[in-house]
Structure 1
Amino acid sequence: MTGHQLAVGAVLRRGKDVLLISDPPDWALPGGAVEAGEPLLARVAQEAGYASVLAERLLWVARYPAGGVEYEMLGFEVTGVGPHDDSGAWVPLAEAVDRLSRMWFAPIREPAVAYLTGRARVATLWTWTDLNEPAVTHPRVSSA
């Protein structure tokens, strides 16, 4: 492996709705790679359409290799601060789960769907040694 990259994703709720960002052909949670010196949740706030966001709790850590880089993605539940600029789409929870379930990228899809459906506890560690194989989780995640 040639390096390490930190990434972040977030669940934002408004009542029973979840904010999703269009990432053609999929829908995703707001977030992305964190650049050196960038505040951890700045990318989430930008994609979510808020001036800033406050982390409420850590939902998951996903570790996976991709393109010779070791990634560590932190998933948070966050609250937006300030007015929302209408970025993304607020969708009902069941629809958000359905859209995320069809996403091709397992390190976002699996933790997000498991958390939103109540199958995973907060602060679950997801580890992939190969993205073509299932993740190992600690603690264990119940099956769908």
Structure 2
Amino acid sequence: MTGHQLAVGAVLRRGKDVLLISDPPDWALPGGAVEAGEPLLGKVGKEAGYASVLAERLVWVARYPAGGIEYEMLGFEVTGVGPHDGSGAWVPIEEAVERLSQMWFAPIREPAVAFLTGRARVATLWTWTDLNEPPVTHPHVALR
């Protein structure tokens, strides 16, 4: 591997709804790669349509290799700060689970769906050595 890249994803709730961002052909949680010097949750706030976000808790860590780089994605449950600019789509949790279940990218799909359905505990570690294989989780999560 030639490098390390930190990424972040976030679950924002409004009552029983979750904010999803259109990432054609998929729907995703707000977030992405964190650039050097960028605030950890800066990208989340921008994609989610808030001036900023506050981390409530760490809900997963996903480690995976891609393109010669080792990624570490931190998944947070967050609260938006300031007015919302209308970005994304607020959808019921069941619909969010359905949309995220169809996402092609396992390191976002699997932790997000497991967290939203209550199959994974807060701060679960997900590790892929090969994205074509199932992950190892700590503590154990029963995959679908």
Q: TM-score, normalised by structure 2?
A: 0.99
Q: What is the match of residue 37 of structure 1?
A: 37
Q: Describe the superposition over 1:78-113 as per-residue Cα deviations: whole angstroms up to 9, x where unpaired.
A: 000000000000000000000000000000000000
- 2:93 & 2:127 partners in 1: Cα distance? 26
Where 1:107 maps in the other structure, the secondary structure is helix
Query: CA offset at residue 142 of structure 1?
Result: 2.7
Unaligned stretches of 5+ residues in structure 1: none
Q: What is the match of residue 121 of structure 1?
A: 121
Query: CA offset at residue 62 of structure 1?
Result: 0.1
Q: What is the match of residue 55 of structure 1?
A: 55
Instruction: Give the count of matched residue pairs.
Output: 144
Q: Describe the superposition over 1:101-141 as per-residue Cα deviations: whole angstroms up to 9, x where unpaired.
A: 00000000000000000000000000000000000000001
- 1:52 & 1:27 partners in 2: Cα distance? 21
- 2:143 & 2:55 partners in 1: Cα distance? 28
Q: What is the match of residue 87 of structure 1?
A: 87
Where 1:40 maps in the other structure, the secondary structure is coil
Query: CA offset at residue 143 of structure 1?
Result: 3.9
- 1:140 & 1:78 partners in 2: Cα distance? 24
- 1:58 & 1:133 partners in 2: Cα distance? 25
- 1:49 & 1:83 partners in 2: Cα distance? 8
- 1:106 & 1:13 partners in 2: Cα distance? 22
Give the residue type in structure 1 aligned to 2:41.
L
Query: Which aligned runs of 4 or more in structure 1 are off by greater than 4 angstroms?
Result: none
Identity value in percent = 88
Where 1:103 maps in the other structure, the secondary structure is coil
- 1:39 & 1:47 partners in 2: Cα distance? 14
